[in-house]
Every structure is written in C-alpha cells, then in structure tokens.
Amino acid sequence: MRAFSYFLFGAVLFYIDSLIALIIPMHIGNKEIVFVPHLLLMYLLILTIYKKPSIAITLAIIFGLTTDLYYGTIYGLNTFGYLLFVVLMNYFFKVYYRDHAMIFLGVWIFTVIFEIYTALIYGLLGLIQFNFIEFILFRLVPTALLNLILLVILFTLTRKLIKKLTSTIDTKA
C-alpha cells in the first residue's frame, strides 16, 4: 500500500504538471514565454535520495512512458530522460542525503539540465527552431524560476509524505 501511495502522489503531480502547462503561457509582444513545470521529475529525484532508488526507477519508467504517450512528440525522450536523471541523481547526490539544502539545489539544477536536454533533442531532430539566446531568455529562465517556486512547495510535501509512509504505525512505546 505504501508503494501505491508513491505512485498515486506521482499521478497527481503528473496531472498538476499538465494543468500548469495549460494555464501559464504568456506573450510579450510577438514573443512567447514558455514555462514548463517539472513537478514529476523533481518528485522522482527527491524519491531517489530519500527512498530506495529502485522505487524511483520503477516510477520513472511508468511515468516516463505515460508522459511520452500522453504528449506523443518523441517516444522514449521522457522515459530515457527520467531514468538517466534518476540514476545520475543517485550517483552524484547519494552522499548528501542528510544535507537538505544540497539535495534541494541538486534537484533544481537537474531540472534545469533536463530542460536543456529536451530542447537539445528537439533541436537536433529539427522539431524546433533552436535559437540559443531566445531559448535562454524565453524558456530556460522562466522555467527555472517556476520550478524553483514549485520545488519549495514540493520538497516539503514530499519529505512529509516520505516521513509519514516510513514511520511505523503501531509501535509500542
């Protein structure tokens, strides 16, 4: 039941990701400012450190496939990306599991790198016209700021969820 709770929370975050992406687009003049929320990726990265990496890897495969099928642009892009970033998070930040500030910073940096990863893949395949300056100004900076705000909320919620699910229920004092 506890593992299902992690899945259920991830499904809710997937839904919230989709809602935020639909609500927030902005236009300034003829330029579109793109905000891309990555709540699900950040959740998987936090789970990687504070729970077993196998849980995060399993959820990365499930939600990566779901994201690829739902958005349907390039099949495997999110699945491979989620898996890659979960494994990298486990490899580079496992030693910092007690330093919450370092984990917070690592999750945020990996989220920004994931955004660059997706843009580079789209650019290499010719699906988007890739202008580096416009990408930085109108997509990367707004996405990084949005995800920083979302991470403040998500980090505390996820840590509370993990603490609640890992505590023993009927212990004798």
DSSP per residue over the chain, as a string? -HHHHHHHHHHHHHHHHHHHHHH--EEETTEEE-----HHHHHHHHHHHHS-HHHHHHHHHHHHHHHHHHH-SSTTHHHHHHHHHHHHHHHHHGGGTT-HHHHHHHHHHHHHHHHHHHHHHHHHTTSS---HHHHIIIIIHHHHHHHHHHHHHHHHHHHHHHHHHHS-SS---
**What integer pLDDT is reported at residue 170 of this predicted model?**
39
The pLDDT of residue 43 is 95
Question: What pLDDT is recorded for position 48?
Answer: 92
User: Per-block average pLDDT, block size 10, for the chain (173 residues)?
Assistant: 86 92 76 88 93 91 91 82 94 83 94 93 82 88 94 93 72 40
pLDDT at 115: 93
Which pLDDT does position 59 carry in this prediction? 94
Residue 172 confidence (pLDDT): 40
